Each structure stands twice: as structure tokens, then as C-alpha cells.
């Protein structure tokens, strides 16, 4: 129930609810992964059941796919969709140019593929994710398991020549074993603290053998929807150069707010 939500969860919910209005009948929509994206999927499922919204969703992870089917959204693969009208996803950080760090949930590869196969990417987030310069959140880098320690050493060596404040890379764990992505890869989290040239870093990382993809999303996001704990919503469009404000009232809904595991 919304009355039991923390301010941060309220902020995530209002951002997700406002972004759900971008979805129209007949669209093919990329569905992101993470706690904020889970709110979006719940909101869209409610619109499917109660308002008759008809669209096809392309999930960016098995977790999102399972939740989407659970709430009644028709799920198809990216190969079936071929191209998307819209992708809505969360972010771990965003800056003033709407560049992002993503991958805290471990789905950065599918998230980037889906986002770049879309006419428009909308990011839903709370104001706490805004930063002046990317890098406070550890940068995820997906690597193949074979020789991952060598890849880690190469990454750390390469970071010496990059405009960053930290150079430590740690293997993401799931308990006592390495975290494994949906594609069967590992993730190195780079503790950089500050990234002076995110575009350069993204290009350099992806040229390294063993690296599959990195969590820097540069020039991909078109619109960010920022939620606040009091129901306010701010929408920034990087292409139009516009900033809009709105406010959403919380509406109690048992179907929407119960059994949300993400």
C-alpha cells in the first residue's frame, strides 16, 4: 500500500507511473530491469488489465520477463520486435547531459542492446541518482568468465591513463560464488569515484579482449523522469531542451503494491 512506502519508494513509483503514460496502444516497448523498472512494469500491468492498454513488451532480463508475464503484459523477444518505439528503464546515476551509469542489477548488456534498438529511451529515477560527474556509483563491466582475472588486471592497468580518481576493480559476487549474468558472464565493478571523460572510457573499455560491454550509456537517453517523495515529478528532455513539472496523487491499489519482490 502506498501509505506504507518509504519516501524513496514513493519517488520511484511516481516516476514510473508518469513514464507509463508514454506507452500507447500498438507500441513495442523495452522494459528495464531494477527496482524502479519493476514499479513501471506493475503500473503498465494495471493499465493492461483495467484500461485495456495493448502493447508488446521486450524485457531486458529474465526477472523483468517473469514479472511482466505475471502482471499480464504480452512479452516478445527483441528478435521478434526487431525495432522498438520506446524503452523505459532506470539508472544508477545520471548527469546533466543525461549520460548514465547502469548495471547495478547486472543486466547492462541486454539493457544497452534494447535501449539502442529504440526510437526513444526514457529513464525513470529519483533525484538522489543525479550527479554532477559520473563515477560515484561503481561502473559495471561485463566480462567473459575465461581469463577474467587477466581481464581485470588489464582493465586496472588501462585505468592508469584514464581521467579517473580510483582504479580498483572487484569481481561481483553472489554469496560465495561469482555473480553470473543472463548471458553467463561475470561483472567487474570499477570503483572510479569520478569519471572525467566518460565517452573516452567507454570506448577504451570496449576495445579490450574479454570485455563484453560496460555500463556507461552515452548519448542514449532522451528523457529522464525524476520522482520525488512528495509526489512531484520532473521531466527533462535532452533533445527539446525542455523541463516540465507535474504532481501525482497516490492512489491505493492492492494489485499494484502487494507482493512486489524487486
* pTM, two decimal places: 0.93
One domain, residues 123 and 145: no
* In a domain? residue 259: no
Give the C-alpha separation, 161 to 141, whole Å.
18
Helix/strand/coil for 46: helix
- Catalytic residue, chosen from 46, 111, 142, 213, is 111
Residues within the annotated binding site? 33-36, 89-92, 102-105, 129
* Alpha helix (H) residue ranges in the chain: 7-20, 35-51, 62-70, 78-81, 108-116, 148-159, 198-206, 254-257
Is 50 a catalytic site residue? Answer: no
Phi/psi at 220 (nearest 5 deg)?
A: -110, -40
One domain, residues 169 and 115: no
Number of domains forming the structure of the chain:
2
176, 177, 178, 159: which is closest to 168 by C-alpha? 159
One domain, residues 223 and 103: yes
Angle at 43 between CA 39 and CA 49, to 5 degrees: 145
Average pLDDT across each block of 10 residues of the chain; the chain has 262 residues. List them in order: 76 97 98 96 98 98 97 98 98 98 97 98 96 98 98 97 97 98 98 98 97 98 97 96 90 50 38
Domain housing 179: 139-213
One domain, residues 11 and 114: yes
91, 60, 75, 89: which is closest to 181 by C-alpha? 60
One domain, residues 110 and 143: no
Map grid coordinates 524485457 to a residue.
59
**pLDDT at position 212, please?**
98
One domain, residues 228 and 111: yes
Residues within the annotated binding site for substrate? 33-36, 89-92, 102-105, 129
Amino acid at each position: 500500500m502506498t501509505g506504507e512506502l518509504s519516501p524513496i519508494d514513493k519517488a520511484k513509483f511516481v516516476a514510473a507511473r508518469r513514464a507509463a503514460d508514454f506507452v500507447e496502444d500498438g507500441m513495442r516497448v523495452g522494459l528495464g530491469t531494477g527496482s524502479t523498472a519493476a514499479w513501471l512494469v506493475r503500473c503498465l500491468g494495471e493499465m493492461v488489465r483495467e484500461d485495456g492498454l495493448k502493447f508488446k513488451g521486450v524485457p531486458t532480463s529474465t526477472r523483468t520477463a517473469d514479472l511482466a508475464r505475471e502482471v499480464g503484459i504480452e512479452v516478445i523477444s527483441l528478435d521478434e520486435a526487431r525495432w522498438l518505439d520506446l524503452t523505459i528503464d532506470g539508472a544508477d546515476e545520471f548527469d546533466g547531459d543525461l549520460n548514465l551509469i547502469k548495471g547495478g542489477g547486472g543486466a547492462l548488456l541486454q539493457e544497452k542492446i534494447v535501449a539502442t534498438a529504440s526510437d526513444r529511451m526514457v529513464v525513470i529515477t529519483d533525484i538522489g541518482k543525479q550527479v554532477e560527474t559520473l563515477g560515484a556509483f561503481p561502473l559495471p563491466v561485463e566480462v567473459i568468465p575465461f581469463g577474467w582475472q587477466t581481464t581485470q588486471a588489464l582493465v586496472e592497468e588501462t585505468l592508469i591513463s584514464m581521467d579517473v580518481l580510483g582504479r580498483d576493480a572487484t569481481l561481483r559476487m553472489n554469496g560465495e560464488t561469482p555473480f553470473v549474468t543472463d548471458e553467463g558472464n561475470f561483472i567487474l565493478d570499477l570503483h572510479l569515484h569520478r569519471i572525467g571523460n566518460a565517452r573516452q572510457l567507454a570506448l577504451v573499455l570496449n576495445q579490450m579482449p574479454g570485455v563484453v560491454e560496460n555500463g556507461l550509456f552515452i548519448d542514449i537517453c532522451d528523457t529522464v523522469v525524476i520522482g520525488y517523495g512528495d509526489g512531484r515529478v520532473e521531466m527533462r528532455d535532452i533533445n527539446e531542451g525542455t523541463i516540465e513539472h507535474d504532481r501525482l496523487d497516490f492512489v491505493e491499489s492492492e494489485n499494484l503494491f502487494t507482493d512486489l519482490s524487486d
